[in-house]
């Protein structure tokens, strides 16, 4: 094992692809000379040259569209957005073009591209730069959507995403770029659509993804102090969602808590909760608890942002009050 920061693990995945496949190129704002908004592509311009590391104008619709054309012609572009908030500017290209070309061409045209973007609140980027639009994009047929919570998963998912012949939304929690974690030295990949059982337990199933996983681990420690044994599941993949892994856990624990760090209204966990209610209701011994951020614009002020963001204490208190005491 070796230790890497989240940004280093993502960089390693990109660098491997550039070294191994001449069809891989990266496009985005300030990814060349500047090295990317979060330094993920630092040094790439000098190593791989301007033909493969392309700084773009501030026009997401334009360079996402360029990526779609390049992918359709046989290249494997990786598009970097400065924030997933800016995916809105290119939504027509992503949702109507990238996601539909394979279907509309009867499978004749693949669109093997990855769209990388920092996502989420917690780093004081205020209302227009703290969105979590992976929750919107995960709804679109024709797109894969993933969101890693640690360096190991970031590298494994990046390797798989770049090799996939479909467009993949690769949402990177902005809060976690500086997170350090162990990464296997031997080569590995993580299949898209596979969740991970992080910790096994018997009393309650906790589910989240991305930055929400640190909240689950903290909540689990509080619950452990109250003799409650938690099973923790990291979705990793938001489209498709691994409902089988979630269902098997619910059959064992008979209780489900689903946590979004995005706003609760319209979050990924609404789909998780609906699926469990429809397919595993007979195994539930209590109400499903769903927790998410408050339905307000993200404040810049640190204390206000924290107040809108879910907390591990709130998660643990809700479980003890609503599930354990019933």
129 is catalytic: yes
**Model confidence band, residue 323 (pLDDT cutoffs 50, 70, 90):** confident
Q: How much is the pLDDT for 148?
A: 98
Q: How much is the pLDDT for 326?
A: 54
**Model confidence band, residue 325 (pLDDT cutoffs 50, 70, 90):** low
**3-class DSSP state of 164:** coil
Is the predicted pLDDT of residue 69 greater than 80, yes or no? yes
* pLDDT single digits (tens) 262-274: 999 999 999 999 9
Q: Which residues of 199-224 are buried (b: 16+ CB within 10 A; e: fewer)?
A: eebebbbbbbbbbbbbbbbebbebbe
Is the predicted pLDDT of residue 321 greater than 90, yes or no? no
Q: How far apart (Å, rounded) are the C-alpha atoms in residues 155 and 83?
A: 20
* pLDDT single digits (tens) 130-140: 999 999 999 99
Q: How far apart (Å, rounded) are the C-alpha atoms in residues 154 and 55?
A: 24
60 is catalytic: yes
Is the separation of the CB atoms in 32 and 208 below 8 Å? Answer: no
Q: How far apart (Å, rounded) are the C-alpha atoms in residues 314 and 54?
A: 44
How large is the average pLDDT for residues 94-114?
Answer: 97
Question: Which of 29, 60, 134, 231 is flagged as catalytic?
Answer: 60
Tokens of 183: 């990464």
Question: Which of 29, 80, 129, 271 is flagged as catalytic?
Answer: 129
Tokens of 215: 């909240």
Q: How much is the pLDDT for 322?
A: 83
Query: What is the tally of helices (H) and strands (E) in the chain?
Result: 12, 14
Is the separation of the CB atoms in 100 and 107 below 8 Å? Answer: no
What percent of the chain lies above the pLDDT cut of 90? 97
* pLDDT single digits (tens) 22-50: 999 999 999 999 999 999 999 999 999 99
Mean pLDDT across the chain, nearest whole number?
96
Q: How far apart (Å, rounded) are the C-alpha atoms in residues 60 and 68?
A: 12
Domains delineated in the chain: 2-183 (3.40.50.970), 196-324 (3.40.50.920)
Who contacts 173 (Cβ-Cβ below 8 Å, separation ≥6)? 118, 119, 120, 147, 148, 149, 210, 211, 261
Q: How far apart (Å, rounded) are the C-alpha atoms in residues 214 and 206?
A: 12
* pLDDT single digits (tens) 141-191: 999 999 999 999 999 999 999 999 999 999 999 999 999 999 999 999 999
Is the predicted pLDDT of residue 68 greater than 90, yes or no? yes
User: Of 105-119, 183-197, 310-324, which range is least confident?
Assistant: 310-324
């Amino acid at each position: 094992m070796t230790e890497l920061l989240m940004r280093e693990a993502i960089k390693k995945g990109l660098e491997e692809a550039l070294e191994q496949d001449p069809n891989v190129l990266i496009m985005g704002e300030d990814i060349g000379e500047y090295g990317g908004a979060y330094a993920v592509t630092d040094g790439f311009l000098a190593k791989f040259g301007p033909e493969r590391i392309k700084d773009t104008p501030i026009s997401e619709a334009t360079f996402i569209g360029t990526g779609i054309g390049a992918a359709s012609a046989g290249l494997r572009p990786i598009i970097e957005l400065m924030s997933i908030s800016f995916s809105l500017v290119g939504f027509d290209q992503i949702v109507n073009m990238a996601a539909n070309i394979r279907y509309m061409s009867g499978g004749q045209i693949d669109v093997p591209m990855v769209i990388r973007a920092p996502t989420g609140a917690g780093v004081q980027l205020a209302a227009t730069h703290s969105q979590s639009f992976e929750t919107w994009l995960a709804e679109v047929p024709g797109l894969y959507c993933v969101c890693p919570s640690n360096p190991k998963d970031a590298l494994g998912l990046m390797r798989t995403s770049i090799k996939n012949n479909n467009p993949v939304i690769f949402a990177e929690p902005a809060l976690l770029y500086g997170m350090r974690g162990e990464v296997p030295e031997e080569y590995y990949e993580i299949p898209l659509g596979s969740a991970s059982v992080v910790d096994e337990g018997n009393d309650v199933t906790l589910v989240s993804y991305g930055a929400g996983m640190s909240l689950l681990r903290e909540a689990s420690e509080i619950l452990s102090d109250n003799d409650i044994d938690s099973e923790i599941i990291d979705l990793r993949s938001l489209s498709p969602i691994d409902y089988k892994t979630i269902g098997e856990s619910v059959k064992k624990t008979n209780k489900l808590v689903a946590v979004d760090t995005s706003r609760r209204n319209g979050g990924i966990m609404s789909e998780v909760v609906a699926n469990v209610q429809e397919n595993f209701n007979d195994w539930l011994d209590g109400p499903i608890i769903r927790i998410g951020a408050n339905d307000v614009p993200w404040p810049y002020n640190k204390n206000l942002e924290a107040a809108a963001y879910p907390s591990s204490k709130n998660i643990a208190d809700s479980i003890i009050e609503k599930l354990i005491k019933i």
